Structure 1
Amino acid sequence: MWRRVLSSSRISARSCCRRCNYNSSDSIYYYSTNVSSKGEDGIEASFEKCVTGKNVERLYRQGYAVFEGGFDSNVGKELRKEIDALFLSSPERFVPNSTRFVKDGFQTELVKKNILELSAPFVEETDGRYLRALQRDRTLLTLLNVLKPSETPNEMLFNVSLKVQMNFGENARFPIHFDSDSSTDNRRWTCLVYLNDDWEEKDGGEVVLYLPFQKEKIVVVPPKLGTIVMFNSRYVAHSTLPYTGKRRVMFTLWLHAKGGEDDNNAVKMKESSIVSNEKIETDAQEQLEKLLAPEQRKHLMKLILAEEWATSIAESHDRSSEPTAKALKTHWEEIDIIARVLGQAFPLAFEKLEKLMKTGKISEFPLKF
């Protein structure tokens, strides 16, 4: 059953990329802003313009939001100048982006092609004043706490981390991934801000958000100067498409919560966690609600995106390297376990899910982020 669901719900960023239109004025996912503040105050003004009560409600309901031109273009250009100058003067401070994973007690590092990054803090004496102002700014965190107070003290946003990134082309990209795992870190929201006033469609490098259970199944956003993309760090899968331009520059803000426990409804993807038949609910709706709960939904999304997920891993790293081969092997082992665990635990849910996805009514199912 789950194989039929995957077959009928497959989505592709490549096929969707040039068809997606985000300039529609009636889109509930996309907001156009006109920030005219100048100087360092433009950072605060940009976030204040975008993060309104109405937009925050939509952000929490949909799990993401895109703000075209949301970040002050003048400030964005100054930040780009400072980042470029910093790279020219101190290239050794920029390190390759990599992913570390542990398999059978051994740690393997996967280094991405042609992507360098620098994390805050920035040096007061030598680094640019706009970068220093950015790392001090807490406007985004404060607005989210005020406009959407947390239900528990542990979920209150209390810290911001900052990283700048440079993509040097030659088809460099990020694979499909979630930014945060509730069992390992406390990042709750991701905010991407792009600083490229010379981007052209032929360059690629768009960020892709995967939303198989929503009206918009996939969202592809060009990395243009001033564009802000916000999404839930734990539950929105995303990637970047291969980039062929000269240099793509951006910065990322992560908003951290104080801390929280794992979702008690999560099924741990191990052989020993397969639910016995007598524990399976007999109500399809009840099963579906549990299958689409946040932590379970992450595993289900990995099933739906399995093929494209594997392709993105191979394209983001050295295909011929042993670490890449191990990562792909681990990926397919996880897919096999997830399929068997979820298939046995929620058989009626997959039947109902297949019908809802065929009719498009799955988008009416309320999701939690």
Structure 2
Amino acid sequence: MPLETLSAPSLYVENSIPTFSREAPFANVLMDLQTQGWSVQDQFFSDEFTQALMDEVHGIDHANMQQAGIGRKQDHQVMLDARRDYIQWIDPDRPIRRDFLKVMEELRVALNRRLFLGLFDYEAHFARYEKGAFYEKHLDAFQGRSNRVLSTVLYLNDDWQDQDGGEFVLYDERETDNVLGRFYPQRGRLAIFLSEAFPHEVLAANRTRHSIAGWFRINNSTGQIVDPDQ
């Protein structure tokens, strides 16, 4: 069998895959964020681009993922009563990962131009929730104490059914027991919301669930302290 035939299923050449499923792909996201602070968009990326990301996360050996925790750097703690997902941070070391980060950089620029958020960078990880795994209700950032401004979640699951569970539940920023929406982790669905404003949770699923979680951040570095990533 020729070498190129062996490698073709996992080979994604940069910029060879159509990225978006629509013209002006950021328009609805920008409008929603401006008017309500959150947005959920189905089929945000093209089917080919979503499939490439799905192939990437499904191909990660579980031994190469780490148990997710709470906090950053030296404050990081594994708390299994709060969350039970496994993650792998996305570095630009493979073509599809580079392409994803490039696209989110384009979105960062658009967000700054339209909403004047002063976003500095974007970080993201693949997330794997095995059957029964969850993430309890929480905020991604606390007012005045974090550099995370906007959170994103892209879902990478085929043929998700209602009985599979695993919903992303978004709560009102003021009446925090009021549910704004319950969203199943369907293929290609993107959620984006203000990190300090909206409590949210991931309900336990009845099958393994994959996504990309990410954050647009501001730069909190000072002359004395370098703002860490991840």
Which of the residues 106, 109, 114 maps onto 1:139? Answer: 106
Structure 1 contact 47–140 (Cα < 8 Å) conserved: no
Distance 1:254 1:109 in 2: 20
What SS class does the counterpart of residue 211 from structure 2 fall into? strand
> Based on CA coordinates, which of the two structures has the bigger radius of gyration?
1
Please name the residue that 1:98 is paired with: 69
Please name the residue that 1:250 is paired with: 211
Please name the residue that 1:82 is paired with: 56
Which of the residues 85, 96, 101 maps onto 1:130? Answer: 96
Distance 2:203 2:141 in 1: 20
Please tell me the root mean square deviation across aligned C-alpha atoms, in Å: 2.7
Deviations for 1:306-326, whole angstroms, at most 9, x for unmatched residues?
xxxxxxxxxxxxxxxxxxxxx
Please name the residue that 1:299 is paired with: none
Alignment CA distance shift 1:203-1:217 (3 Å): closer
In structure 2, runs of 5+ residues without a counterpart are 1-14, 222-230
Q: Shift of the alpha carbon at 1:259?
A: 3.9
Q: Indicate whether 1:163 and 2:137 are aligned.
A: no
Deviations for 1:237-265, whole angstroms, at most 9, x for unmatched residues?
000111111x21110221012349xxxxx
What SS class does the counterpart of residue 249 from structure 1 fall into? strand
Please name the residue that 2:79 is paired with: 110
Please name the residue that 1:222 is paired with: 184
Identity %: 20
**Which consecutive segments of 4 or more residues in structure 1 shift more than 3 A?**
38-41, 45-50, 106-109
Deviations for 1:102-138, whole angstroms, at most 9, x for unmatched residues?
xxxx99641356521001225x3xx4x2123213331
Distance 1:220 1:177 in 2: 15
What SS class does the counterpart of residue 205 from structure 1 fall into? coil
What SS class does the counterpart of residue 97 from structure 2 fall into? helix
What SS class does the counterpart of residue 53 from structure 2 fall into? helix
Deviations for 1:72-110, whole angstroms, at most 9, x for unmatched residues?
2221111111122222xxx33210112259xxxx99641
Structure 1 contact 48–139 (Cα < 8 Å) conserved: no
Please name the residue that 2:151 is paired with: 190
Distance 2:192 2:112 in 1: 15
Which of the residues 21, 36, 47 maps onto 1:73? Answer: 47
Structure 2 contact 29–41 (Cα < 8 Å) conserved: no
Higher normalized helix content (fraction of residues): 1
Structure 1 contact 40–130 (Cα < 8 Å) conserved: no
Alignment CA distance shift 1:61-1:259 (3 Å): farther
Q: Shift of the alpha carbon at 1:181?
A: 1.8
Distance 1:48 1:79 in 2: 21
What SS class does the counterpart of residue 86 from structure 1 fall into? coil
Please name the residue that 1:175 is paired with: 136
Q: Shift of the alpha carbon at 1:58?
A: 2.8
Structure 2 contact 84–135 (Cα < 8 Å) conserved: no
Aligned length: 201
What SS class does the counterpart of residue 141 from structure 2 fall into? coil
In structure 1, runs of 5+ residues without a counterpart are 1-37, 151-155, 261-369
Structure 2 contact 139–198 (Cα < 8 Å) conserved: yes
What SS class does the counterpart of residue 116 from structure 2 fall into? coil
Structure 2 contact 18–48 (Cα < 8 Å) conserved: no
Q: Shift of the alpha carbon at 1:182?
A: 3.4
Structure 1 contact 177–237 (Cα < 8 Å) conserved: yes
Structure 1 contact 39–75 (Cα < 8 Å) conserved: no
Q: Shift of the alpha carbon at 1:185?
A: 2.1
Q: Indicate whether 1:233 and 2:195 are aligned.
A: yes
Alignment CA distance shift 1:69-1:184 (3 Å): same
Q: Which has the higher contact order (CA 8 A, sep 6+)?
A: 2
Distance 1:107 1:253 in 2: 17
TM-score (norm 1): 0.49
Structure 1 contact 40–133 (Cα < 8 Å) conserved: no
Structure 2 contact 21–43 (Cα < 8 Å) conserved: no
Distance 2:214 2:110 in 1: 14
Distance 2:194 2:23 in 1: 19
